[in-house]
Amino acid sequence: MPRHSWQETHRSQFKTERNCRRDCGWIKVTRHDAGPGGVPWTEWWRGGERLQVGGHTPACEAVAAVAA
């Protein structure tokens, strides 16, 4: 599986978002608001739904274009 390649960062007061450049639909969100112990954490979103909190980066599921 290919690894994610992240687009430019979109920052707001409480979070940082990055979309996968490969159009697999994954969004990496780093939360900066008051979390457990005041430590930032990472969430993984796709299709408007939070699918994972913390842990390893999910695999990129983008289909590579094959030149014919």
**Residue 66 lies inside a defined structural domain of this protein:** no
pLDDT tens digits, 18-52: 999 988 999 999 998 766 677 788 999 999 999 99
Q: Which residues of 22-56 are buried (b: 16+ CB within 10 A; e: fewer)?
A: bebebbbbeeeeeeeeeeeeebbbeeeeeeeeeee
**Residue 61 lies inside a defined structural domain of this protein:** no
Number of domains in the chain: 1
**CA distance linking residue 19 with residue 62, whole number of Å:** 13
Contact 38, 31 (CB under 8 A): no
Range of the domain at 49: 10-53
**Residue 49 lies inside a defined structural domain of this protein:** yes
**Residue 20 lies inside a defined structural domain of this protein:** yes
What is the structure's pLDDT at 53?
Answer: 92
What is the structure's pLDDT at 34?
Answer: 66
* Tokens 């969004």, located at residue: 27
**Residue 2 lies inside a defined structural domain of this protein:** no
**CA distance linking residue 46 with residue 37, whole number of Å:** 27
**Residue 5 lies inside a defined structural domain of this protein:** no
